A and B are shown apart, each in its own frame.
Chain A
Amino acid sequence: MKETTATTSGRSGEWWFRKGRFGVSHLALCLLALTTLTPFLWMVLASFKHVSEIEGNLNPFPKVWHPENYAQVFKQIHFARYYFNSIFVAAWVTVLQTLTSAMAAFAFARLRWPRRDQVFKLYLFTLMVPGVVTMIPNYTLMVKLGLLDSYIGLIVPASFSAFGTFLLRQFMMGIPRALDEAAAIDGATHWRTFWDVILPLARPGLVTLAIFTFMGTYGSFFWPLVLIKSDALRTLPIGMLYFDSVYGKQTNLIMAASVMNITPLIILFVSTQKFLVKGIQLGAVKG
């Protein structure tokens, strides 16, 4: 009898200890989350303020809310145009890169051809070459092809990815071979096997790659910065940089533009969280 009470009290003691530890963890996490979110909150609130209210003022909330700041951004720069350019380019790159990566991955994972694995190793090696090294030759190539200041120059070079190929190849290796052998017996061509058997089964991989590609292209800065000269072709990051350098004093408008800039990313992120977290962990397997 005594023993039972002892164990119960011991358990409840442990329970309290655990409860306390969880409380401390929650407190720590809350504080950290607050630190993470404060700059975002400041950005949103500043975007609704009058410019005189931002400077050297710690008032968190605007005295008068100015939603017209957002409309003002569209009036001062061609923000709608930049928005369209960013999404247009990112959408094209996403579709093309996913498609070319899937086709190349299929060739590396399923088709048999001489020196396939050596070619794949060579392919992977290009992943090791850092972007800093490739940017100058890439740029000179664009100059030679006359693709400066064009959508094609923004889209085509980004439409092939060794990383995407690698990711999807890993995915396709996991699909049972029996399936495409059955398709082959039924007289399916390589193309049909690829399109009707492999692609649907590789969907989780395709979605992960697509999200990362979209996100990366939407925010890409260096390439459009050196490639694009005319205002009509500027993407959002370049437009933002220009806005900041020309109208830098209007912090409220710049913050409004920043909020609008990151909103699509937040929507994309929240709606695809599960895929992303898995995708990142999958991508790390290459280490």
Chain B
Amino acid sequence: MFSLVVSATNWSLTREEPFRFVGLANFAQLFGDKEFWQYFINTGYLMLGMPIAIAGSLCLALLLSQKLRGVVIYRTMFYLPSFTSGVALLILWKALYNPQFGPINAALGPIFQWFGGQAPEWLLSTKNLLGLHAEDIRLVWAQFGLGARDAMIFMGIWISIGGSNMLLYLAGLSNIPQELFEAAQIDGAGPWATFRHVTWPQLAPTTFFILVMSFIGGLQGGFESARVLTAGGPAGTTTTLAYYIYTKAFEEFQIGYASAVSWVLFIIIAVVTLLNWKFGSRETNDA
């Protein structure tokens, strides 16, 4: 009876089988596809916010790991965006970013004007902080500014900073033996030296885990925000690989081609996972 249940579960989880219809022609087409490379770069650009978000989570965890009053209340507040994240919050950010009516530009507009500039167009603009051209890997001065991709990054940081990464860091911090801190104090180490030589190395396995998980998540990310906020625009600048697969499969019904893209993504993720296993075990041995 249990094996029946197990086989049922296995069945529904290993549904990857019907991939047979993917021909090699799709892959050949894919590598010559300009759009594919553009969206590949987009995905990478959106992942640039990751290290900032992770560093932010670490800072929050460090602040919250002190014996302060009201820590639980702070933690609850920081966790709120990631717990309620979803379409409702994305729609909220769409309203916040609205260049004409949104509160962000209502607040920032005067500041930009004071400096003689214009308030950013956020989700309507292809500009970005690197000055990347919308379609090529070229840096163009005219593209420098704040645009849709940066808006996505800021929103992503806001959502994820107090989320599970912060909780993982908190757990990691509470696992560091207290003696290490005491020893550091006896050696006369200041807060920075303690962090540099005790906290950071002790947290290395946690950081490594978070980095790998975020990387894997980031490669597959950007679908919901693209679907709700921008429809992948402007000029395709917020289309990530995940959103590209969606549009190919469910709006253009090119299931075969979409599968090919998803396979390329899968192979990248599998490589990252294997590297994780290899280096991950080394990290844990060191710790």
Contacts and interface: CB of A to CB of B under 8 A. Distances in A.
Interface of A: 22, 25-26, 28-29, 32-33, 35-37, 39-40, 42-43, 46, 54-58, 100, 103-104, 106-107, 111, 113, 119, 122-123, 126, 128-141, 156-157, 159-160, 162, 165, 190-191, 215, 219, 221-222, 225-226, 236-238, 240-241, 244, 251, 254-255, 257-258, 261-262, 265-266, 269-270, 273, 276-277, 280-281, 284, 287
21 contacts: A26-B68, A33-B77, A33-B78, A39-B96, A40-B80, A43-B92, A46-B95, A58-B106, A130-B216, A131-B220, A132-B241, A136-B245, A136-B249, A160-B9, A237-B88, A240-B91, A257-B88, A266-B80, A273-B72, A277-B75, A287-B213
A32 B263 contact: no
A162 B6 CA distance: 10
A130 B266 contact: yes
Contacts of A25: 63, 66, 68
B83 A258 contact: no
Given A25-B68, A241-B228, A270-B76, A58 B103 contact: yes
Interface string B43-79: 0000000000000000010011010100010111111
A54 B100 CA distance: 11
B9 A100 contact: yes
B252 interface: no
B229 to A, nearest CB: 10
**Most-contacted residue by chain B among A33, A54, A165 (CB, 10 A):** A33
A222 B222 CA distance: 12
B78 A32 contact: yes
B255 interface: yes
A251 B262 CA distance: 36
A137 B19 contact: yes
Given A54-B95, A126-B13, 15 more contacts: A25-B68, A26-B68, A39-B81, A128-B270, A129-B266, A130-B216, A130-B220, A132-B262, A133-B262, A136-B262, A139-B250, A219-B85, A241-B87, A244-B91, A284-B168
A137 B16 contact: yes
A46 B259 CA distance: 42
Nearest to B56: A32
B258 interface: yes
B81 A42 contact: no
B12 interface: yes
A162 B13 contact: yes
B88 A261 contact: yes
A155 to B, nearest CB: 12
Interface of B: 1-3, 5-6, 8-10, 12-19, 60, 63-64, 66, 68, 72, 74-81, 83-89, 91-96, 100-101, 103, 105-107, 158, 162, 164, 167-168, 170-171, 205, 209, 212-213, 216, 219-220, 223-224, 227-228, 241-242, 245-246, 249-250, 255, 258-259, 262-263, 265-266, 269-270, 273, 280
A280 B85 CA distance: 16
A116 to B, nearest CB: 10
Given A130-B266, A136-B259, A32 B84 contact: no
A21 B63 CA distance: 11
Contacts of B63: 25, 28-29, 32
A113 B167 contact: no
A225 B242 CA distance: 14
B6 A222 contact: no
A100 B5 contact: yes
Contacts of B212: 287
Nearest to A35: B158
Given A136-B259, A261-B88, A36 B80 contact: yes
A264 to B, nearest CB: 10
A254 B95 contact: yes
A37 B77 contact: yes
A221 B86 contact: yes
A108 to B, nearest CB: 8
A265 to B, nearest CB: 5
